[in-house]
Structure 1
Amino acid sequence: MADHGIAGKTVLIAGGAKNLGGLVARDLASHGAKAIAIHYNSASSRADAEATLAALTAAGAQAVAFQADLTSARAVEKLFVDSAAAIGRPDIAINTVGKVLKKPMTEISEAEYDEMSAVNSKAAFFFLKEAGRHVNDQGKIVSVVTSLLGAFTPFYSSYAGTKAPVEHFTRAAAKELGDRGISVTAIAPGPMDTPFFYPAEGADAVAYHKTAAALSARSKTGLTDPEDIVPWIRLLVSDGWWMTGQTILVNGGYTTK
């Protein structure tokens, strides 16, 4: 019978230096992951990556970090190849990379659209492609998307719109990789209390989001706490392996489908 635990497993996390990705890395290390490779996008995140590496090592995991812009297929391929060379082929691959833009459609430039598409769709597609090539049989693949996929709202067309294809990428990959025992899922948090959220929002919007979820009054900030997403990702990459091809909205009742 396949082992669907975390102990002894090798993990690759895109966007794993800080925020949700950093918390997931620490959590999987605390549950016995043997080796964890974290990716970060730019030099501005190097200090966060080093802090995360130190925490992973302290938890007993072998840990390495790679800097890369994942908006090219070659960069994604290199991340998987370099990670495998350093710590072995991954049993678990998690992509937390994303970029938000809040703007009326009539004001979005072609350059802005292209950047959003590259980060949210293209990088996610090639991450799934390379995960399909490199993840070990019985492995687990998770992509982080957004609960706005279940919303009827203005101003997020380029964000939710470029995350939306990841739902179908997930379904297709789940079908194509199922014979190898690999589960593929997407998890869709609500607005999270991280530095990723606030720059795109005005004060009125922040106030709204902090009261919009059914469970907002029970949250520390009213928003989705990244710590409340971590256990779901842990489940999906372990005993929750029978869930595959699905996008799961975890948002305290912020929106649904």
Structure 2
Amino acid sequence: MNRKIAIVTGASRGLGRNTALKLAAKGVDVILTYRSQQGEAAAVVAEIERLGGRAVALPLDVGVSAGFPAFAATVRAVLGSHWQREQFDYLVNNAGIGIHAGFSETSEAQFDQLVNIQFKGVFFLTQALLPLMANGGRIVNISTGLTRFALPGYAAYASMKGAVEVLTRYLAKELGSRGIAVNAVAPGAIETDFGGGVVRDNADINALLASQTALGRVGLPDDIGGVIASLLSDDNRWINAQRIEASGGMFL
């Protein structure tokens, strides 16, 4: 029986890395992307191979949509050379950046960067890869708890993620005829290097967010990767077009 194959963007570290490893532990092979951290991406590939899986790391800048056709062609070639397959099964649109700036101080350049990476990239990368996705496949788009609760400094970032959540529903509707389910996972505050590692490294902010979370702590990558891997499993095949928040109960 052929193993499932997932593409996870931005999987050299953080939530993407954890997702790739959780998928591998469930018997899913992974094509992971990285922008600049080739060494870290290679380490993820090695770890997946230690788990008995197969993985390939490919460079990709999700903020430059002009490169997506060439990336799709590379994916097609890799599927053939490494798996003797023409299609993959799962897509996790995870890659992104965080910019913290008040509404009045947000520059047009910052806004455009967020659009290109967080929304335009998700839209057109998914479009470019759809011809290679198997019918009955699944897509998970990464959103944020900040689309439900508002914290100053994230107006632009959260707006892009809100657009991704709307896109998720439209994709579910339009791809339903192919049996492709599309959902969004919205993490709360997580201890990673995202946004400069502020949640992980600033003890005061960490404690404040923990105090506003029902489970009494901020999240860890292990709290998110398993949610995504579970959504992609057959156990959750009937979940579609949903925003699933994984925040431990923040700001209830």
One fold, TM greater than 0.5?
Answer: yes
| 8 Å CA contact retained: 1:70, 1:119 | yes
What residue number does 1:68 align with? 60
| 8 Å CA contact retained: 2:100, 2:154 | yes
Deviation at 1:199, TM superposition (A): 4.2
Aligned equivalents of 2:110 and 2:14: distance in 1? 24
Aligned equivalents of 1:187 and 1:131: distance in 2? 20
Secondary structure (helix, strand or coil) at the match of 2:135 reads coil
What residue number does 2:208 align with? 208
Deviation at 1:198, TM superposition (A): 4.6
What residue number does 1:176 align with? 174
In structure 2, the gaps of 5 or more residues are: 80-84
Secondary structure (helix, strand or coil) at the match of 1:52 reads helix
Secondary structure (helix, strand or coil) at the match of 1:136 reads strand
Deviation at 1:204, TM superposition (A): 4.2
Alignment of 1:138-153 (within 5 A): 138-153=136-151
Deviation at 1:255, TM superposition (A): 4.1
What residue number does 2:238 align with? 242
Matched, 1:12 2:10: no
What residue number does 2:41 align with? 49
Aligned equivalents of 1:254 and 1:205: distance in 2? 14
What residue number does 2:107 align with? 109
Deviation at 1:252, TM superposition (A): 0.6
> CA, structure 1 residues 151+65, in 2 after alignment: closer, same or farther (shift >3 Å)?
same
Aligned equivalents of 1:120 and 1:78: distance in 2? 20
Aligned equivalents of 1:74 and 1:198: distance in 2? 28
Aligned equivalents of 2:144 and 2:184: distance in 1? 9
Aligned equivalents of 1:28 and 1:203: distance in 2? 31
Moved more, 199-208 or 48-57: 199-208
Deviation at 1:83, TM superposition (A): 1.8
**Aligned residue pairs: how many?**
243
Q: Compute the RMSD of aligned alpha carbons.
A: 1.9
Deviation at 1:31, TM superposition (A): 1.4
In structure 1, the gaps of 5 or more residues are: 217-221
- Cα deviation per residue 1:143-185 (whole Å; 9 max; x = unaligned)? 1110110013321101101111001111111011111111001
Matched, 1:85 2:77: yes
What residue number does 2:120 align with? 122
State the one-letter code of the partner of 2:248: G
| 8 Å CA contact retained: 1:39, 1:68 | yes
Deviation at 1:65, TM superposition (A): 0.8
Aligned equivalents of 1:131 and 1:243: distance in 2? 22
State the one-letter code of the partner of 1:18: R
State the one-letter code of the partner of 2:175: L
- The runs of 4+ residues in structure 1 deviating greater than 4 Å are 197-204
Secondary structure (helix, strand or coil) at the match of 2:218 reads coil
State the one-letter code of the partner of 2:12: A
Secondary structure (helix, strand or coil) at the match of 1:244 reads coil
Task: Provide the identity percentage.
Answer: 31
Out of 160, 165, 168, which is 1:167 matched to? 165
Secondary structure (helix, strand or coil) at the match of 1:153 reads coil
Deviation at 1:76, TM superposition (A): 2.8
Matched, 1:231 2:226: yes
Secondary structure (helix, strand or coil) at the match of 1:214 reads coil
Output the TM-score relative to the length of structure 1.
0.88
Output the TM-score relative to the length of structure 2.
0.90
